[in-house]
């Protein structure tokens, strides 16, 4: 449960980074492409 929550927080922060800084490729963006 804790691990999933941590991953969710990382993914959420990465999606915000993509939204405000599209040039920066993050883990969240890579995850979305793979999924």
Greater model confidence, 19 or 2: 2
In this predicted structure, the answer to whether residue 9 has a pLDDT above a threshold of 70 is yes
DSSP string, 8-21: HHHHHHHHHHHHH-
For 24, residues 6+ apart whose C-beta sits below 8 A from its C-beta are 17, 18
Question: First vs last Cα of the chain: how many Å apart?
Answer: 21
Greater model confidence, 34 or 6: 6
8-state DSSP, 30: H
Domain hosting 11: range is: 2-34
Q: Residue 5: which pLDDT band, with cuts at 50, 70 and 90?
A: confident
8-state DSSP, 24: S
| pTM exceeds 0.75, yes or no | no
The total number of structural domains in the chain stands at 1
Radius of gyration of the chain (CA): 10
């Amino acid at each position: 449960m804790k691990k999933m929550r941590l991953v969710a927080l990382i993914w959420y922060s990465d999606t915000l980074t993509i939204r405000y800084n599209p040039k920066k490729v993050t883990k969240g963006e890579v995850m979305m492409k793979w999924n």
